[in-house]
Structure 1
Amino acid sequence: MSTITTQDGVDIFYKDWGPRTAQPIVFHHGWPLSSDDWDTQMLFFLEQGYRVIAHDRRGHGRSSQVSDGHDVDHYAADAAAVMEHLDLRNAVHIGHSTGGGEVARYVARHGKGRVAKAVLISAVPPIMVKTDANPGGLPIEVFDGLRAALAANRAQFFRDLPSGPFYGFNRPGAKVDEGVIANWWRQGMNGSAKAHYEGIKAFSETDFTEDLKAIDVPTLVMHGDDDQIVPIADSSLLSVKLLKNGTLKVYEGYSHGMCTTNADVINPDLLAFIKS
């Protein structure tokens, strides 16, 4: 397996496919998944001649199940360690959900001179939790409920989430894909319960406002208007206003997991933005 070791001794697994001379596209996965969640996109862009890279966040997938560092600063620093190891430049960084927050912080703090463009898909910025400054956010009780469900029965919780709201399979008339559900469960259960538990605080309570303001590369913000996990009104609709060079694309009726369920639409749109 391809891994790098961070300064604090964490082994980070990564995939690196395609010509070393091609423009790199880097994919940042969501909670509680792994780089495998990007397989459809990586194969698509590989066929288009790009170099594609994705890593497993610490505590997720095949990376070390360490006790500490399950916060966005460490997530971004770990990503930076992979980018520096591979010496990636002129890269396009694409992040889904929590991975979108990771992209925002990576680009803002570590990406100078290395990043060409960024994409935030169904992403958690600016901040998910309800606060005085973010009255449209979700109450902390929502995230406390996620933690309680994970601690009580992670295996069942990781069946219920993809079977229902993550992919919109709970909507009337939805075509349920058992393979997609099983793959989500497989990825989640490969990771660390501690990393997943603490990751809920990371994705819900981190404020990415200043990161978004600091990003100056062209950034595409993509979101489904039927996202039941990260509601669009308090995420992408706000994020695009904070970006210096942001473009918003809203997908009617699409779910949080639209990269998987609607890859036939999402992948060409990503390609068009990268080529633009």
Structure 2
Amino acid sequence: MGFVTTPDGTEIFYKDWGPQDARPIVFHHGWPLSSDDWDAQMLFFLSKGYRVVAHDRRGHGRSAQVGDGHDMAHYAADAFAVVEALDLSDAVHVGHSTGGGEVAAYVARHGQPAGRVAKAVLVAAVPPLMLKTETNPEGTPLEVFDGFRSALAANRAQFFRDVPAGPFYGFNRDGAEVHEGVIQNWWRQGMMGGAKAHYDGIRAFSETDQTADLQAITVPTLVLHGEDDQIVPIAASAMKSVALLQNGTLKTYPGFSHGMLTVNADVLNADILAFIEN
């Protein structure tokens, strides 16, 4: 574990576990969490002999709580700073939710041009565009994201309790098995980060049109999405992403939530492993 300083002076926290000569898998977390959200995946792939790397996005987790740069362009550039510092090549990049947008931007703008990426996995990811527009009627209305901003500014601690206790993991569904520890861990990760980064991050994940990023990606890309995702609508994201990708494969999961990488880790881990090894 350590820190990488980006070209604009931001300190980015990262974890780097496993044999240094093993194939690297780089994990990109969702909003407003941290690299800790990938614990189940990092331990699993470490046990399979891979080198596993994950960083905390600027303003999130243990990275510097800077006031600026909370956008996809900076997120991707920060990830590239970590990759360059660790000299990672032939890497597989896996991103969840906002981290999926970060992966798309990283691969298209940095990873492929530098020859450092081999494959990508987008898990319940936000691209190409979450926001509802005339040309993206399947998206989410701006008023919903304005509500997120208002709730965060008014009482971030309560908002960060309500999201995981409700729609994020599908714990609001009738008959759902609620995991209190999962809710508390989501809250813990969120409250580690900075309010400014989280507030600005809502615009980054909701209003960034990544159509061009997806179209530019040529490496094999696996798109995974839960069919009961209440956070990122599958019709506005996964369905459109796989159509834009030059070498994309889509797999959906009936009944799975936005937080499936945690509550359905056994299924996701097996599918990601199969994609990496084939």
Q: CA deviation at 1:54?
A: 0.1
**Matching residue's letter, 1:267:** N
- Give me the identity figure in percent: 75
Give the Cα separation in 1 of the matches to 2:67 and 2:235.
34
Cα distance in 1, alignment partners of residues 162 and 228 from structure 2? 18
**Shift in Å, 1:12:** 0.1
Query: Match of 1:69?
Result: 69
Query: 1:134: Cα distance to partner?
Result: 1.2
Q: What does 1:142-181 correspond to in 2, within 5 Å? A: 142-181=144-183
Query: 1:182 maps to what in 2?
Result: 184
1:213 correspondence with 2:224: no
What CA distance in whole angstroms lies between the structure 2 residues aligned with 1:44 and 1:137? 34
Provide the residue aligned with 1:225 in structure 2.
227
Letter in 2 for 1:91: A
Distance 1:125 1:248 in 2: 14
Aligned length: 276
Deviations 1:172-214 (A, max 9, x none): 0000000000000000000000000000000000001000000
Spell out, residue by residue over 1:59-88, the C-alpha distance to the aligned partner (whole angstroms, 9 max, x if none).
000000001000000000000000000010
Tell me the C-alpha RMSD between the 2 structures.
0.5
TM-score where L is the length of structure 2:
0.99
Match of 1:118 in 2: 120
* Partner Cα separation in structure 1 for residue 257 and residue 15 of structure 2: 27
1:111 counterpart SS class: helix
The Cα of 1:133 is off from its aligned counterpart by 1.9
Report what 2:106 is aligned to: 106
**Cα deviation code 1:241-271 (max 9, x no counterpart):** 0000000000000000000000011101110
Extract unaligned runs of 5+ from structure 1. none
Per the normalisation by structure 1, the TM-score is: 0.99
3-state SS of the aligned residue for 1:146? helix
Structure 2: gaps of 5 or more residues: none
Q: CA deviation at 1:135?
A: 1.8
Matching residue of 1:15 = 15
Residue 24 of structure 1 is matched in structure 2 by: 24
Residue 201 (structure 2) aligns with: 199
Equivalences for residues 259-270 of structure 1 within 5 A: 259-270=261-272
Once residues 4 and 41 of structure 2 are traced to their aligned partners in structure 1, the CA distance between those partners, rounded to angstroms, is: 23
